[in-house]
Amino acid sequence: MASFVERVVGAARLDARTYEEIEADPTALGQAMAVVAASALAAGVGSLGSGATGVVAAVVGGIVGWFLWAVVTWLVGTQLLPESGTSADLGQMLRTIGFSAAPGLLNVLGIIPVLGLLVWFVAAVWQLVAMVVAVRQALDYRGTGRAVLVCFIGWVFYMIVSVGLAMIMGIGSVIMGG
């Protein structure tokens, strides 16, 4: 069994065997959550001016977003778009999608002036590709196309919820005088 660091590196390298190992290891849920939290922390640190509250919000939001996206992806992948060999439980989806956040660790480099937006873009695309690999492996899909579709549907749901929460919080801060 690979170490935590080897798993993070393997996940970032888009290594399907690493995702299979993570999928099969029920004890890796804490590790997956740590990857999500570290990636969110890196994003918070990389974005200057977010302050301590912004960093905490990024970590909490990252963990909540990971959970919601994993649930939606699991439901879509197992109920709406399964293949004949699709077999996955929520834990497998949480573990693999959690590790797909590994490229987000690069966001800490956003603290370097001028590189912030470029680093964010590269990390975001890399994370999305890693998530497709994670979903393909977790759902035992034979190809990548269905995994892309499942990730896209999950992303749309995630964005709707994120924008909705941002609007509610924005309205809330206006009402509260902030």
Q: By the 8 A CB rule, do 92 and 98 touch? A: no
Nearest to residue 73, comparing CAs of 94, 100, 104, 48?
94
pLDDT of residue 168: 75
Nearest to residue 13, comparing CAs of 99, 109, 94, 108?
99
pLDDT of residue 89: 96
pLDDT of residue 126: 97
Q: How far apart are CA 153 and CA 123, in angstroms?
A: 20
Read off the pTM: 0.88
pLDDT of residue 49: 57
pLDDT of residue 78: 96
Q: Is the dihedral of CA 131, 59, 31, 13 positive or negative?
A: positive
pLDDT of residue 98: 97
Q: How far apart are CA 96 and CA 149, in angstroms?
A: 17
Tally the domains of the chain.
Answer: 1
Domain housing 142: 4-175
pLDDT of residue 22: 98
Query: Could you read off the pLDDT tens digit of each residue along the chain, which spans 178 residues?
Result: 899 999 999 999 999 999 999 999 999 999 999 999 999 888 878 766 556 676 777 788 888 889 999 999 999 999 999 999 999 999 999 999 999 999 999 988 988 878 888 998 999 999 999 999 999 999 999 999 999 999 999 988 888 877 776 677 666 555 555 4
